[in-house]
């Protein structure tokens, strides 16, 4: 590889090395918004975003409680900006509180245009999950 090729590669690597879009939270899901996820107006359907957020929070809740759980509440859901087909969607989760059987998890969603570099926060909400035993009853979260 000559010097020019090495410089081009370094610049391209820098361009694609975008990672975190906010300092706090764990990146749980990064995915691409697809045409199948649109509403009748052609933007991404809010219900699809909510399901991705629920999946992300549920994944964190499962790791915290070492077992199954269920969403018992979703609070303060805000849709700040539309998400477009092709956007790279990144879901951050932050564990806010662990109770006797419940976990409160803040979720932020960022979107980056497919051919752009600047990502924006598009949605956030707080999810409450309850750890469940095999019969579906609340289970005490013992080992954290």
User: Between 43 and 82, how does the x/- string for binding to ligand COA read (CB under 6 A)?
Assistant: ---------------------------xxxx---------
C-alpha angle 36-123-59 in degrees, rounded to nearest 5: 75
Tokens 């926060």 map to which residue? 121
**Which CB, 94 or 121, lies closer to ligand COA?**
94
Q: How far is the CB of 101 from ligand COA (least distance, A)?
A: 3
Select from 65, 102, 108, 127 the one that contacts ligand COA (CB under 6 A).
102
Q: Are the C-beta atoms of residues 134 and 88 closer than 8 Å to each other? A: no
The closest residue (CB) to ligand COA is 99
Strands 102-112 and 26-32: unpaired
Longest dimension (CA), the chain: 65
Q: How far is the CB of 51 from ligand COA (least distance, A)?
A: 10
- Strand ranges in the chain using DSSP code E only, listed in sequence order: 26-32, 69-79, 88-98, 102-112, 120-131
- Interface with ligand COA, residue 101, by CB under 6 A: yes
Q: Enumerate binding residues for ligand COA (CB under 6 A).
A: 70-73, 99-102, 128, 130, 138
């Amino acid at each position: 590889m000559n010097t020019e090729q090495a410089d081009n590669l370094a610049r391209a690597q820098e361009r694609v090395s975008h990672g975190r879009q906010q300092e706090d939270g764990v990146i749980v899901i990064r995915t691409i918004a697809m045409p199948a996820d649109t509403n009748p107006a052609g933007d991404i359907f809010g219900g699809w975003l909510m399901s991705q957020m629920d999946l992300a929070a549920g994944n964190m809740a499962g790791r915290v409680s070492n077992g199954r759980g269920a969403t018992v509440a979703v609070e303060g859901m805000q849709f700040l900006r539309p998400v477009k087909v092709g956007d790279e969607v990144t879901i951050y989760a932050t564990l806010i509180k662990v109770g006797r059987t419940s976990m409160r998890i803040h979720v932020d969603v960022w979107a980056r245009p497919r051919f752009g570099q600047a990502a924006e926060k598009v949605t956030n909400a707080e999810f409450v999950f309850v750890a469940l035993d095999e019969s579906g009853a609340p289970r005490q979260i013992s080992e954290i």
